Structure 1
């Protein structure tokens, strides 16, 4: 037996199924896979080239969808001006995604957006990727932006008020 298999067997032998089921109260926050968790939605048409050799959207493509819904919201609702030399620049400092169900072309996905944390110069987004009309996300991902000065790339001292106001509109608790 290999070392990893032996270790897994040891761990399994020491676990005990208590049979206890923890129920969340109705006041618990909605699950991040639930459509109800998200505050803003953007439909995105999948493309033939999004599919991989297995016939479903490749995992790397979901990061494009996540980036698209975030930046669309920042430009439309938060006064982000990407071509401006005075507008702060959002640099991604961390990202993640969890995959639950495949999606395939020619599906239309709906990218749901919520903000989970607003700092002085940083913002953390959560994005659910839903196949149109479905209640549970196929993918839940997100990332954290640190907004920096365009010239020296140092974090800004505070988010511009119009930007922060737009972000607060989709902040979840």
Structure 2
């Protein structure tokens, strides 16, 4: 996804970097990128009313993730996290996320993670609820 373009992502979330995100080398530490991915997707789901992190009976567990790093991010950069759905299965969804620094056209990092939907009470996989599926359909982007 190194050559991903902003136009290939149907939704963006702006995330301000924080001073504490920088490591001793003066750039955002690699583990923080995963928190940006998680924040972008979960904020989207919460805003659309299909994720209740405290009381929802069905939630998504991350079962797979990965990230490729192309260029550094440093505080006080603003990250624009583009998200799209690459695959929508019966009980799982694969998101692709690209992080664009400030006004850059090329992503500084790109990755993925997979949510498997589970019943909170049993931790067993369940089909993606219809309202969630409808929202996820809006994230199917143009993938070059």
- Which range, TM-score by smaller chain? over 0.9
Out of 119, 123, 131, the residue aligned to residue 89 of structure 2 is 119
Uncovered stretches (5+) of structure 2, i.e. residues with no partner: none
CA distance in 1, matches of 2:49, 2:12: 15
The count of aligned residue pairs is 142
CA distance in 1, matches of 2:49, 2:87: 15
CA RMSD of aligned residues (A): 1.5
Larger radius of gyration between Structure 1 and Structure 2: 1
1:81 partner SS: coil
Check conservation: 2:28, 2:74, Cα contact below 8 A. Answer: yes
1:76 correspondence with 2:24? no
- What displacement does 1:32 show? 5.5
Check conservation: 1:40, 1:114, Cα contact below 8 A. Answer: yes
Aligned match of 2:65: 95
- What displacement does 1:85 show? 4.5
CA distance in 2, matches of 1:55, 1:121: 40
Out of 118, 124, 128, the residue aligned to residue 159 of structure 1 is 128
Aligned match of 1:8: none
CA distance in 2, matches of 1:32, 1:68: 23
1:45 correspondence with 2:13? no
1:34 correspondence with 2:12? no
2:124 partner SS: coil
CA distance in 1, matches of 2:43, 2:87: 18
CA distance in 2, matches of 1:53, 1:34: 31
CA distance in 2, matches of 1:76, 1:135: 26
1:79 partner SS: coil
- What displacement does 1:159 show? 1.4
- What displacement does 1:118 show? 0.6
2:62 partner SS: strand
TM-score by length of 2: 0.93
Uncovered stretches (5+) of structure 1, i.e. residues with no partner: 1-29
- What displacement does 1:33 show? 2.5
